[in-house]
Amino acid sequence: MAQGVVKNPDEQVVLGEEIGNVRLVTLNRPRQLNVISSKVVSLLAEYLEKWEKDDQAKLVIVKGVGRAFSAGGDLKMFYDGRNSKDSCLEVVYRMYWLCHHIHTYKKTQVALAHGITMGGGASLMVPLKFSVVTEKTVFSTPEASIGFHTDCGFSFIHSRLPGHLGEFLALTGARLNGKELVAAGLATHFVPSEKLPELEKRLIGLNTGDEIAVKSAIEEFSEDVQLDGQSVLNKQSIIDECFSKETVAEIIKSFEAEAGKEGNGWIGPVLKGLKKSSPTGLKITLRSVREGREQALAECLKKEFRLTINILRAIISADIYEGIRALTIEKDNAPKWDPPTLDKVDDDKVDLVFQPFGEDLELQIPENENCRWDGKYENSAYATSQVTAEAK
């Protein structure tokens, strides 16, 4: 069958291939660990909308090149825009709008998530009908540690994990390996990495989006998952005991008490990381995940959009920029948080970042299925008001 390739001649950060009834998306920034830039978001949205509307497209496969599936958002992009108000608003809007469409996509999707799969990068894996991980897959949602929050739909996803595992993953940024992802329900299949190229060929050869056929094909290559005895997923009772507490301070106090008990040596390094994290980021993240339990996907994404814009605007703290500086720019790993401690983070100020925007300034997620690709950034009040302002 003839193979057609849809590519942007100027920018190869995302490749889109059309092979019979199969559509293949390749994240192609290996040196940058396939981080999600403005161009990546635009191309992903363009391909996914085109293929959902294409009757010939039956199966969409998403993969990354190199040692990462995707390491998440482009932190340098955020940092470089720190002195220019709303410089990243467009890419944030487009990404969260896209997250909704990935969760609700009408064609069968398979993620081949080999390697680093973190933060927003994991939003291209977890919601898909089938998500394949390997022994090299490393998952984490570490945003709170740098003064940010668990985003790209993860206040929805984490809040639906067993017990209080979601709070644990969101607040600590704890890493899960491929087998743990399957056991936790964040991925569907574990396939050894050496079999991944063969699996990809098999899926392309199927030339169908029939879910039973796709699942059967993946299961030809997948292995049953046996958790390591030391896996954090075997510590659920401790996690539930500590991370069910009402506040971040109470969670840390409870976790400290557990750390002193015999056999709980694993807690020490996790606790150390938790205490080094942004107090503001931790408080915002805990509240967001807790609210997520009562919110539908669209509500979670609208809330996350508000949080992100308000955090980038530094309306209560500039910790996001200090966190990125310490982690990825100067790499001194010595952030100076403001406020510096949990007790100095005023709950009334935290309320401010959760405040709804005016209706026209919210993330526009279509409620009508017939218009599900409406609500794009270019038709939003942000884009039209900007155009109006420039025209004056």
The residues annotated with a catalytic role in the active site are 73, 120, 143, 151
Amino acid identity, residue 197? P
Placement of tokens 């009757």 in the chain = 55
**Is the CB of residue 373 less than 8 Å from the CB of residue 366?**
yes
Determine the 3-state secondary structure of 168 from DSSP.
Answer: helix
Cβ neighbors of 125 (< 8 A, separation 6 or more) are 62, 69, 111, 113, 117, 131, 133, 187
Residue 388 exposed, middle or buried by CB count within 10 Å (0-12, 13-18, 19+):
exposed
Render 57-89 in DSSP notation, one character per residue: --EEEEEESSSEEE--B-HHHHHHTTTSTTTTH
**What is the number of residues in the chain?**
392
**Is the CB of residue 28 less than 8 Å from the CB of residue 36?**
no
Round to whole Å and give the CA distance between 46 and 44: 5
| H or E element that contains 80 | helix 75-80
Token pair in block for residue 302 = 């609208």
**Is the CB of residue 382 less than 8 Å from the CB of residue 93?**
yes
In sequence order, which ranges of 134-173 are alpha helices (DSSP H)? 154-157, 165-172
Q: Partners of 17 in the beta sheet?
A: 5, 24
